[in-house]
Structure 1
Amino acid sequence: MTDAAELDQGSRRRGTLVGALIVSLSILVTAWAGIELTRGTGRIAVIWLANAVMLAAVLKRPRSEWPILLAMGYGANVLANLVTGDDVVTAALLSMCNSIEVVLSVTLLSGLTSERDFRRPKPMFLLTLIALGPASFVTAILASSILLVLHGTDFSTVFMTWYAADALGLVTLTPMLLLVGSSDLADLVHPAMRRRLALVTVVLVAALGAVFLQSSMPLLFLAFPAIVFATFMLGFAGASLAVLLTSGVALWTVLHGMGPISLMQDDLRLQLTALQIFTVALALTGTAVAILLGERDLLSAALIQAPDFRFIKNLNSEFVSVNRAVALHAGFKRPSELVGKSDFDLTDTARARLLRSEEREVMNRGDVVTDQAELVPDADGNELWFETSKVALVSRTGRVIGLAGTTRDITNRRAMEVELEQSRDRIALVLSEMADGMAVVSADGYIVLCNEHYRTLFPLTGKYRVPGAFMPKILAASKEMGEQIDFDPSQIMDILHHGGNEEVHLLDGTWLQIRARPGSNGSCTMLVSDITKMKRTEINMRALTAQLGILATTDALTGLLNRRALDEQLDREIARCKRNRVPISLLMIDIDHFKAFNDLYGHPAGDLCLQRVAAALKKVTKRPGDLVTRYGGEEIAIVLPETDEAGALVLAEQLRLAVKGLAIEHEGSDMGTVSVSAGLASLVHDGVANTAKVLIQRADQALYIAKGTGRDKVMGWSNVLREQQTLATGS
């Protein structure tokens, strides 16, 4: 192991230890506070937050860090119980119940879904079910049984208290800790959000004052609009802030006999139960609205910021949503200014009617129109070409509810196509003006007349091509002498009888075009042209076409193949390796902390960095069959046909060291210089893992683990799989 690798590994271990210490301290504080809080409520636990903190920490960190997090969290729980007066056995067993609750939650969640984006509905819904169901229920039974055996406490009382407090903590705090990240908190204090934050604060204070600072009217329902308003204005962070603030105020007022919950009968247990139900409802409302808004904002950003023209229309062909490109093209500053308008507001009546008719036909058929080209002159009379795809939008019940479309400017591409077509026409014109060889052959196959140029075009049989000569005999002699390459005399005679065109390749490299036109008397007029120059031009044109194809599949900045080339060639390479029963590997390489590099040194320096890294990777990847592509942004994908994982690991390490050897200064990186992380996966065609999608997913997962465990390293997917299997077996 190199010194740099040892330092990197040591840095990762220190980071893991520091994170575990912070988590354990948080668990200690929340556990102690939870136990102390019960002293003022007759030992009734309102909410247990320690398990929520531990569960969120485990779900946010890599599996490799779970053991130390669980161990230190268990120790913090034990210490909190000891500090608050429990004996060692009781503290150890109750803390074990808390750890079992976290492990059970993580195990069930991992078994039910592989998603870890808790801003998506599915994992958050499963987490809520697990928290309200088996996780809290099982551990409540264990804890009640332990306290019954050790101290003779009432089983049902302990069970209800434990279950309600733990379930409430997992349902309320865990989602907030999972959803709210550093970026959300940074957004919360961003200058652009100050007015919103101030407005939300005013609304929350007013709502909480109206609800909880009086005990005459049951106005708890007013808290929910305030929660929804905070979520709409501030997103996930706003929902968390509002729920925590409202829950804290509600708890304080209950303990001091204030607020609408105190209107219930004078039973603190019943009031605390009502508070728990109210807090769960608040948390679920805020979380659900935040998740839905998050998905909406993501889709909205994708639509608005796309470079192509994207739009959505209703059944009346009126714009419901458009992106920034459409608005700017139509002469508007904001996309919202186009909402409610139609093509009649943007173009002439005839074209608007045509577009509306086409769109209604698409919606009536529930059909898709793809890549429809259209010529649209601009205000200055310049011809602009656009390519549009449209699809009818269908509801879950099968009813057409609108239309979505994408339009892209293909003016440059169209100009290139026209130029190529004009080039072909010019070549044909030049050929038509050339002095051709000419011969007339009678119906019975004899040359009637021919010009001198016709004879000079055939170097070996030209002297025999004279009037009166028998054409089948001349063709047989030409074949015997090898004058023509891949020559079939019967095919030429067939052309003479029926007419047609044929290209002939002579042994000396000359290309001839034979054009035969039958006459009414059975004779045939034959024109023979030297098309050698044309054939060479055609070859050059093919080369130009190939070059254009290369340009279309080449990244302009790095000179590497682009994502389109990867998509086109990866499936072919996988199919070839599958036929030959040989492995294929894929490397996904990402420049570490590249955003920080751009922020520090500027985008021109970032472009230069990308170019140098790409050149270094290309230099190391020497085999002709290997494919180095720019996958997107600072990510590079390398396809390695006929390479197993062991060989790919060796090459990946060489690539990592090559980039390291560039010694590009990077003050925003812990390493001090630019480094890369690599994830790789190999397909051996076992009948299951044999698609490009699987290969990319595995390599990307390995890359994610490599970056998540410290960066500047190489991670194979099989290692990730073994770790997952080990953890699954251990749990």
Structure 2
Amino acid sequence: MADFEKLEPDSTVYRTLLESTKAIPWKIDWDSKQFAYIGPQIEALLGWAPASWQTVGDWASRMHPQDREWVLNFCVAQSQAGVDHEADYRALTRDGHYVWIRDVVHVVRRADGSVDSLIGFMFDISERKQTEQKLASLQKELEELSFRDGLTGVANRRRFDALMELEWSNARRNRQPLSLLMIDIDYFKQYNDCYGHLEGDACLKRVAWLLASAATRARDLLARFGGEEFVLLLPETDESASLKLAARCRDLILAEQIPHAQSAVGPVLTISVGAATCIPAHADELRGFLDGVDKRLYRAKQQGRDCIVAAS
């Protein structure tokens, strides 16, 4: 560590300047891979005394196992190429915790171009990393909210449109069946007129929860399509299975016995369902498939509601 004087001619002045900063200066001799110097600030940050930093091996062993390989490979490659560089990694403290470090490295070369030594600074960037992680978490939350219906909590139209296109492409590529249920709450305008919009909102939430409970697979998607309409996207689901699920949705709503005094169907809330299944061919268009499901829902309404229409 006494070789610090080789860094600059006026060692006392530069030592004072370097050791008064929060950045931790260090120097490594390239040929021996030994530390020529490391600032005393390292002990305050990580708990390891400066005298314990003897070789590059000490530096590597105090690095998080998940960071060690790529940091070592990166830093060695950059140093051998004579390129100044920096790396972020987690450093082990003496009490067993980890601190985020940014190492900024300058490569010192001899007159013949060979590497003489590495000089650098370690910076504690834990607070910055925590902020970045919080921002990333917030960004993820905002993205999730942008795909969620604000009232019912299920996926919204935007989310459905994106996944519908994806599953359509997957079904066409893999020659797998894709099913879709389009669901409408019968006489919902009359429900709102009778019970008020607050009760109408509560009804939509209740129906959404019931429909979501019917679809149990991770890839099945329930989304609010708009107003009182919902859609159930069912990848790799044949017609028979989709119709069983449609019947389950209808039965769940009926079993809930939600009063609807203004329904022309009966005294409780009911739903109408349009259903379709397709193994998309290359020439098939998604828009045509969606239009077909919408027409089947319209036919269910024409036929008196509280029913499922699957045939064209």
Give me the TM-score of the superposition, normalised by structure 1.
0.35
2:141 corresponds to which letter in structure 1? Q
SS at match of 2:144: helix
Specify the code of the residue in structure 1 equivalent to 2:83: H
The 2-side partners of 1:465 and 1:553 are apart by 51
Aligned counterpart, 2:103: 514
1:660 matched to 2:254: yes
Contact 2:178 2:237 in 1 (8 A): yes
In 1, distance between residues paired with 2:187 and 2:66? Answer: 66
Match of 1:617 in 2: 211
Whole-angstrom CA distance in 2 between matches of 1:579 and 1:545 = 32
Render the CA deviation track for 1:309-352: whole Å, top value 9, x for unaligned.
Answer: xxxxxxxxxxxxxxxxxxxxxxxxxxxxxxxxxxxxxxxxxxxx
Structure 2 counterpart of 1:516, one-letter code: V
Shift of 1:562: 0.9
Distance 1:486 1:520 in 2: 25
After superposition, the C-alpha distances for 1:156-175 in whole angstroms (9 at most, x for unaligned) are xxxxxxxxxxxxxxxxxxxx
Aligned residue-pair number: 278
Does structure 1 residue 487 correspond to structure 2 residue 75? no
Aligned partners of 2:42 and 2:48 also within 8 Å: no
Equivalent residue number for residue 710 of structure 1: 304
Please give the alpha-carbon distance, in whole angstroms, between the structure 1 residues aligned to 2:289 and 2:189.
26
Does structure 1 residue 680 correspond to structure 2 residue 275?
yes
Distance change >3 Å, CA 494–CA 463, structure 1 → 2: farther
Contact 1:677 1:706 (C-alpha < 8 Å) held by counterparts: yes
Instruction: Please say if 1:450 is aligned against 2:38.
Output: yes
1:650 aligns to 2:244 (yes or no):
yes
Cα deviation, residue 703, structure 1: 0.7
Following the alignment from structure 2 to structure 1, what is the Cα–Cα distance between the partners of residues 205 and 69? 48
User: Pairwise CA RMSD of aligned residues?
Assistant: 3.2
User: Deviation per CA, 1:503-558, whole angstroms, max 9, x where unpaired?
Assistant: 22468773432222456987543222344554344333222111111111211111
1:585 aligns with 2:179: yes
- Structure ranking higher in strand proportion: 2
Identical-pair percentage: 30
**Cross-structure match for 1:566:** 160
Contact preservation (8 Å) 1:598, 1:605? yes
CA distance, structure 2, for counterparts of residue 652 and residue 661 of structure 1: 14
The 3-state SS of whatever aligns with 2:89 is: strand
Shift in alpha-carbon separation, 1:436–1:674, aligned structure 2, 3 A? same
Which of the numbers 9, 13, 25 marks the counterpart of 1:438? 25
Partner of 1:223: none
- CA change 1:494–1:678 in 2 (3 A) is same
Partner of 1:499: 84
1:644/1:516 CA distance change after superposition, 3 Å: same
What does residue range 259-278 of structure 1 map to in structure 2 within 5 Å?
Answer: none
Q: Contact (CA 8 Å) 2:172, 2:282: kept in 1 or not?
A: no
- Quick one: structure 1 residues 638 and 482, their matched pair in 2 at CA, closer, same or farther if it must change by over 3 Å? closer
Query: Which residues of structure 2 form unaligned runs of 5+?
Result: 1-20, 111-115
Aligned to 1:627: 221
The question of whether the paired residues in 2 share the 8 Å contact of 1:583 and 1:642 is answered with yes
Structure 2: how far apart are the matches of 1:599 and 1:589?
A: 21
Say whether the 8 Å CA contact 2:38–2:50 is kept in structure 1. no
What's 1:465 paired with? 53
| 1:353-399 CA-partner distances (Å, limit 9, x unpaired) | xxxxxxxxxxxxxxxxxxxxxxxxxxxxxxxxxxxxxxxxxxxxxxx
Matches of 2:44 and 2:51, distance apart in 1 = 8
The equivalences for 1:104-119 within 5 A come to: none
Structure 1 residue matching 2:70: 3-state secondary structure: coil
In structure 1, what is the Cα distance between the partners aligned to 2:278 and 2:40? 65
Q: 2:286 aligns with which of 661, 670, 692?
A: 692
- Answer 1 or 2: higher relative contact order, Cα 8 Å, separation at least 6: 2
SS in 1 for 2:69: coil
Cα deviation, 1:120-154, whole Å, max 9, x if unaligned, reads xxxxxxxxxxxxxxxxxxxxxxxxxxxxxxxxxxx
Cross-structure match for 1:186: none
TM-score, structure 2 as length reference: 0.76
Cα-to-partner distance string for 1:209-268 (whole Å, 9 max, x where unaligned): xxxxxxxxxxxxxxxxxxxxxxxxxxxxxxxxxxxxxxxxxxxxxxxxxxxxxxxxxxxx
Alpha-carbon shift at residue 632 of structure 1 (Å):
0.5
Q: State the distance in 2 between where 1:578 and 1:461 align.
A: 63
1:624 aligned counterpart, secondary structure? coil
How far apart in 2 are the matches of 1:596 and 1:483? 60
More helix by share: 1
Superposed, which structure 2 residues align to 1:85-234 within 5 Å?
A: none
Name the amino acid aligned to 1:491. F
Q: For 2:143 and 2:176, locate their aligned partners in 1 and report how far apart those are by CA, in whole Å.
A: 29
* Aligned-pair CA distance for 1:650: 0.4
Change (3 A) 1:509 1:574: farther
Deviations 1:641-696 (A, max 9, x none): 1211111110011101111122122122122211110111122133333x432332
Maintained 8 Å contact 1:626/1:638: yes
Counterparts of 1:537 and 1:629, CA distance in 2:
33
Q: Return the alpha-carbon distance in structure 2 between the equivalents of residues 607 and 623 of structure 1.
A: 27
Structure 2 match to 1:597: 191
